[in-house]
C-alpha cells in the first residue's frame, strides 16, 4: 500500500458494486465486439484522461453533489470514467461507421470535459482562490519541452519514434506535463506530493547541493523524461507485433502521466497558492 497516493480509498459498497457491475458489462461488451484499436482511437480517448482528473479535482474541493461524490474519489473515478468512455465506444460501434469511432470518443470526451473544467473554475472564482498564472505557465512550458525531447528521440531512435508516432508523443507530453506541474506545485506554489515514490524523489533532490539553486523538481522531471523515452523505444516492437494491445498499453502509459498533470494544474488554478 505504500505505493498508493495519500487519500486512496474505495467508495461505499453500493457504489463500488454498481461500478464493478457496470465496468464488467462494458468490458464484456467490448471484448465481444473486439473493436479495432489504432493511434486515432487512443487520441480520441485523450480527453477522457483529462475528464477523470478534473472530476477528481471537483471531489477534492467539495464541488460535486453528495450523490456523485463517491464516483469521483481516488479509486472510483478510474472506473467511472473508464465505464463511461467504454459505453460511448460501444454505443458508437452500434450506430456509427467504424471510421467515425475515434471522433465520437474525442467529441464525447470534450463535451463532458468543458463543463467539468468550467464548474471547477467557477468555484475557484466564487471562493476567491482562482489563480491562473502559474498553471498557464506550466501548460505553455510543457509544449516546447516536449517538442525538444521528441526531436532528440526522433534523431537518436528515428524508427521507434515513427512507429509509436502520435501515441508516443501523447505519452511523452502527458508525463512532461506531470513533471512540470509537480515542479511548479512543489517549488513555486508550496503544494505537497501525494504519491510516495514521487515524494521520495523530491525529498532526495532537496538533500542535494543543487536544491537551493534549482529547487527539487528538476530531478523528477529528468527521470520522467529519461524513463518515458525508454518506454517509448521499448513499445515500438510491441506495437509492430500486436498493434491493438501495444497502442492500448501505451495509451495507458499516457493516461498515467496526462491525468495527474491535468489534475495538478486545475487544482493549482482553483485552489490558489498555499
Give per-residue pLDDT as tens, 30-56.
999 999 999 999 999 999 999 999 999
**Residues 21-28, mean pLDDT to the nearest whole number:** 96
Nearest alpha-carbon partner for 39 in 169, 231, 161, 167: 167
Is the pTM higher than 0.75? The answer reads: yes
Is the confidence at residue 2, as pLDDT, over 50? Answer: no
More confident site: 42 or 183? 42
Helix (H/G/I), strand (E/B), else coil: 96: coil
pLDDT tens for each residue of 193-218: 677 777 888 888 888 887 777 778 88
Question: What is the percent of the chain with per-residue pLDDT over 70, rounded to a whole number?
Answer: 95
Q: What is the pLDDT of residue 187?
A: 82
More confident site: 119 or 75? 119
**Residues 228-235, mean pLDDT to the nearest whole number:** 94
**What is the pLDDT confidence band of residue 273, given thresholds at 50, 70 and 90?**
low
The residue behind cell 521499448 is 234
Q: What is the pLDDT of residue 220?
A: 85
Query: Could you give the angle at which helices 158-183 and 217-241 cross, rounded to 10 degrees?
Result: 150
Rounded to whole angstroms, the Cα distance separating 270 from 274 reads 11
Q: What is the pLDDT of residue 6?
A: 54
Helix (H/G/I), strand (E/B), else coil: 123: helix
Helices and strands of the chain, counted as H and E runs: 10, 0
**What is the pLDDT confidence band of residue 1, given thresholds at 50, 70 and 90?**
very low
pLDDT tens for each residue of 117-170: 999 999 999 999 999 999 999 999 999 999 999 999 999 999 999 999 999 999
**Residues 209-228, mean pLDDT to the nearest whole number:** 84
Instruction: Decide if 150 contacts 157 (C-beta within 8 A).
Output: no
Amino acid at each position: 500500500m505504500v505505493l498508493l497516493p495519500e487519500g486512496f480509498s474505495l467508495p461505499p459498497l453500493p457504489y463500488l458494486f454498481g461500478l464493478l457491475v457496470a465496468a464488467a458489462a462494458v468490458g464484456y461488451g467490448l471484448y465481444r465486439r473486439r473493436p479495432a484499436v489504432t493511434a486515432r482511437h487512443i487520441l480520441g480517448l485523450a480527453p477522457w484522461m483529462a475528464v477523470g482528473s478534473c472530476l477528481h479535482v471537483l471531489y477534492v474541493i467539495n464541488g460535486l453533489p453528495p450523490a456523485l461524490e463517491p464516483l469521483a474519489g481516488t479509486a472510483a473515478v478510474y472506473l467511472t470514467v473508464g465505464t463511461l468512455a467504454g459505453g460511448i465506444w460501444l454505443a458508437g460501434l452500434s450506430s456509427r461507421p467504424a471510421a467515425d469511432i475515434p471522433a465520437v470518443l474525442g467529441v464525447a470526451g470534450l463535451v463532458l470535459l468543458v463543463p467539468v473544467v468550467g464548474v471547477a473554475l467557477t468555484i475557484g472564482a466564487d471562493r476567491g482562490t482562482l489563480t491562473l498564472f502559474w498553471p498557464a505557465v506550466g501548460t505553455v512550458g510543457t509544449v516546447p519541452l516536449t517538442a525538444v525531447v521528441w526531436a532528440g528521440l526522433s534523431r537518436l531512435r528515428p524508427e521507434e519514434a515513427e512507429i509509436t508516432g502520435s501515441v508516443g508523443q501523447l505519452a511523452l507530453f502527458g508525463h512532461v506535463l506531470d513533471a512540470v506541474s509537480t515542479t511548479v506545485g512543489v517549488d513555486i506554489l508550496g503544494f505537497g506530493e501525494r504519491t510516495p515514490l514521487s515524494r521520495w524523489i523530491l525529498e532526495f533532490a532537496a538533500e542535494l547541493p543543487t536544491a537551493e539553486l534549482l529547487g527539487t523538481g528538476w530531478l523528477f522531471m529528468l527521470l520522467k523524461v529519461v524513463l518515458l523515452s525508454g518506454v517509448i523505444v521499448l513499445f515500438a516492437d510491441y506495437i509492430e507485433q500486436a498493434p491493438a494491445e501495444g497502442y492500448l498499453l501505451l495509451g495507458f502509459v499516457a493516461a498515467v502521466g496526462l491525468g495527474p498533470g491535468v489534475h495538478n494544474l486545475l487544482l493549482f488554478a482553483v485552489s490558489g497558492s498555499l
